Amino acid sequence: MQERSIRHKDSRPKVRYSFLKIMTGSDLSRRRLPFMLAQSAQPGPIVWLAGCVHGDEVGGIVVIQEVFRKIRKGDLVRGSVCAFPLMNPIGFETGSRNITLSKEDLNRAFPGSVSGSLAERIAHRIFTTIVETSPTVVLDLHNDWIKSIPHTLIDQDPGGSHRKAYQMAKSVAQKTGFLVVLDTDELKKTLSYSLLQHDIPALSIELGESYVVNERNVEYGVKSVLNILSHLGMIESTGFFTYQVLDVFKDKVLKFSNQPVSSSSGIIRFLERPGSLVRKGQPVAKIYNTFGKLQETITALHDGIVLGHSDSSVAFPGAPVMAFGIAE
């Protein structure tokens, strides 16, 4: 591991930047994972920040950079913040969600394997490094549809002996300042779910559009991370950040849904924006054919909130149109 240390006055944390090797290219170049560590002089919680597990989800990288910028000014009074800002450098460089070389989704490869596929080997390097530190909580930073609102996504309860870690993750999720949404897909090889199965609290934060850095969503992400650091007593409180739509569902956990999907082909015209409250049976989108004839009206199946729109207005049978947080 190559390492560069930055030392400040006694009141400031020790900040280190380093790299973990993941592979050697055919031209003998090294492919590495950037690693960041900020360590206060006072012991305390250990928080991990993880970004860009999908190469097109670039916002988390900048959120981590800005959090460390604040930490370097001396804001960290106890504990440590660790980060993998760029978990999928190969996908990032090609603007791809997946690892371009192997066409694998890195966030479906955890906890990984030292002798597995390329994705499993990278996942193993990331996972074992995180687990060895016995973190208090891990925050996995993602980006979502182009037109979407920030929200916190928690996994399904793994049950059994992992209940304590899961309850901790749910508690921390309520401190992010965002809507808390329960993932209804049973994805067991993600970073967050794999960590929960190792009794480590983990959750995902979805921060709007992929591909480009949206400065507004970066600001929301930084404030959300600072909320958690403040909640854990790692920084001085600067006031609790709350995203504007949270009060409607205060202390509630919504369920994620991308239903109903389209039943016809055509052009989607959205009737409700991300962040809009909807009622069961309310029209939320219409689908027209090439000649402008209405083919279908999409209506909400439940009361809830619009989390986002599909990135494309092209409709075909079975295609997701919108995502919702459902209130039960």
CB 212 within 8 A of CB 285: no
Rounded-to-integer distance, Cα 60 and Cα 223, Å: 13
Concatenated DSSP letters of 82-135: EEES-S-HHHHHTT-SSBTTTTB-GGGSTT--TTS-HHHHHHHHHHHHHHTT--
Burial class, 172, CB count within 10 angstroms (exposed 0-12 / middle 13-18 / buried 19+): buried
CB 244 within 8 A of CB 219: no
Closest by CA to 172, choosing from 153, 191, 157, is: 153
Amino acid residing at 139: L
Q: Give the fold, CATH level 3, of 258-326.
A: OB fold (Dihydrolipoamide Acetyltransferase, E2P) (2.40.50)
Domain spanning 3-249, CATH class: alpha beta
pLDDT in tens, 217-267: 999 999 999 999 999 999 998 789 999 777 778 789 999 999 999 999 999
pLDDT in tens, 131-177: 999 999 999 999 999 999 999 999 999 988 899 999 999 999 999 99
Q: Which residues contact 69 (CB under 8 A, 6 or more apart)?
A: none
CB 142 within 8 A of CB 60: yes
- Look at 20-29, 188-197, 258-267, 290-299 and tell me which has the smallest mean pLDDT: 20-29
Domain ranges of the chain: 3-249, 258-326
Strands 322-326 and 46-51: unpaired
pTM assigned to the model: 0.94
Amino acid residing at 88: N
Amino acid residing at 254: L
Rounded-to-integer distance, Cα 139 and Cα 143, Å: 13
Phi, psi for residue 53 in degrees, rounded to 5: -70, -30
Structure tokens at 328: 């039960």
Under the phi-then-psi rule, with left for phi > 0, alpha for psi from -120 to 50, and beta for the rest, what region is 199? left
- Is 258-326 in the same CATH topology as 3-249? no
pLDDT in tens, 51-86: 999 999 999 999 999 999 999 887 899 999 999 999
